[in-house]
Amino acid sequence: MTDTATRTYTRADFQSDQEVRWCPGCGDYTILASVQTFLAEAGLNPEKVVFVSGIGCSSRFPYYMSTYGFHGIHGRAPAVASGIALANPDLSVWVVTGDGDGLSIGGNHLIHAMRRNLNLKILLFNNQIYGLTKGQFSPTSEYNKRTKSSPTGALGLPFNPVSLALGAEASFVGRTIDMDRPHTVEVLRRAHQHRGTAFIEIYQNCNVFNDKAFAELTGKEERLANRINLQHGKPVVFGANEEKGVVLAGGSARLVDVAEVGIEALHVHDEHAPDPAPAFALSRLSHGPHGPTPLGIFRDVTRPAYEDDLQRQMSTAQSGRGPADLAELIRQTGTWKVG
């Protein structure tokens, strides 16, 4: 586990001396601030923290942190981060990726990281567009979206990152949004506490190439109508007066008026449910996101982290049979002497 500090930190202790170069108004600024605030509050030592990224706007993130950092290549951050976590389980290893980096070119690494459950915290900044390459559609862009590389409409359905993570056996899956810093800090805190891979989708506004993609969750009026805050052990309700709710039936989640069905009929959210099906059903409520959309912790289950399992194997091997050193290993394959 990561050591906690003996001294207290502030956000400034996690800021590097590099000039932040995202576009003015980019959602990445608020996420950066939330992450730095969280790290200071959690009391993590900067030298014990490593940020690893791929390529894309979000992947510049490590340069703006005063911790250790590795800015890798497109899509491969989970691989590099896995190597770091394997080599030194005392480190707190964070992956910063985007919808193109993590779900397109690096999709294979992402799903395998979640399946393995190494102790990685994966932050996927989802702005539903390629920003760094100036505006092509991404694997989370909505169907038929017109972009620079899809002037007649993007074909194929977008990924729903939370559904994907749940299907990939992730032991922790959360979703938050750039504008809501307290919510982001809380989800980060929970991810940090989780032993194993934690996947967090962060809705992030790209004000240059895909502005207001998440307006239904950030606008003053819309927010009240559309934001579903998942709370463990509580019925899933939303709306200005919690007059709306979610029921689960036949494996699907459905929106209802609480007055019509009664509060007892509502789905009670269980983050620790062994079966990911209810969480998956919740993740299917919204695409895009359009309409009521759940935010918070979808899933948080305990499962051995890969490093811990590996350590157990290594320890068992120490006391087990087999050659104790290289000389013995070679001798066992048969040797003979000459002269």
Partner 1 sequence: MPDETPPLEQESVDHVRIRFAGDSGDGMQLAGARFTDASAIFGNDLATLPSYPAEIRAPAGSIAGVSSFQVHIADSDILTPGDNPDVLVAMNPAALKANLADLAPAGTIVVNTDAFDDRNLARAGYETNPLRDGSLRGYTVIEVPMEKMTREAVKDTGVGGRGVLRSKNFFALGLMTWMFSRPVEPTLEWIRTAFAKDEAVVAANTAAFRTGYNFGETTEQFRHTYQVKPARLQPGTYTNATGNQTVAWGLVGAARAARLPLLYSSYPITPASDILQELSRLQKLGVRTFQAEDEIAAIGVALGAAFAGHLGVTGTSGPGMALKSETMSLAVMTELPLLIVDVQRAGPSTGMPTKTEQADLLMAMYGRHGEAPLPVLAVASPAEAFDTMIEAARIALKYMTPVVVLSDGYIANSAEPWRLPDLDHLPDISVPFAAPDGEAKFMPYRRDPGTLARPWALPGTPGLEHRVGGLEKEDVTGEVSHRPANHQHMVELRERKVAGIADDIPEMRVDADDGAELLIVGWGSTHPAIFAGVRQARARGAKVARAHLRYLSPFPRNLGEVLRSYPRVLVPELNRGHLLRLLRAEFLVDAVGMNKVQGMPFKTIEIEEKIMEMTRP
Interface contacts to partner 1, rule CB under 8 A: 16, 18, 45-48, 50, 52-53, 55, 62-63, 65-73, 76, 78-88, 90-91, 108-109, 112, 310, 313-314, 317-318, 320, 322-327, 329-331, 333-339
Cβ neighbours around 182 below 10 Å, total: 10
State the minimum distance, in angstroms, from the CB of residue 222 to partner 1: 38
Beta strand pairing call for 237-238 and 244-249: antiparallel
State the minimum distance, in angstroms, from the CB of residue 310 to partner 1: 7
State the minimum distance, in angstroms, from the CB of residue 317 to partner 1: 4
State the minimum distance, in angstroms, from the CB of residue 23 to partner 1: 17
For partner 1, the closer CB: 152 or 335:
335
For partner 1, the closer CB: 6 or 241:
6
For partner 1, the closer CB: 84 or 179:
84
- Nearest residue to 125 (alpha-carbon basis) of 239, 34, 18, 3: 34
Q: Which pairs from 112-116 meet CB under 8 Å and 24+ separation? A: 112/78, 113/78, 113/81, 113/82, 113/197, 114/165, 114/168, 114/169, 114/170, 114/171, 114/197, 114/199, 115/168, 115/169, 116/82, 116/197, 116/306
State the minimum distance, in angstroms, from the CB of residue 70 to partner 1: 6
For partner 1, the closer CB: 72 or 174:
72
Instruction: Give me 121's structure tokens.
Output: 């915290």
In whole angstroms, how far apart are CA 85 and each of 40, 69, 113, 219, 333? 22, 13, 11, 39, 34
State the minimum distance, in angstroms, from the CB of residue 111 to partner 1: 8
For partner 1, the closer CB: 95 or 230:
95
Cis check for the bond before 151: say yes or no (omega within 30 of 0): no
For partner 1, the closer CB: 16 or 207:
16
- Nearest residue to 27 (alpha-carbon basis) of 257, 261, 218: 218
Instruction: Give me 279's structure tokens.
Output: 């969480």
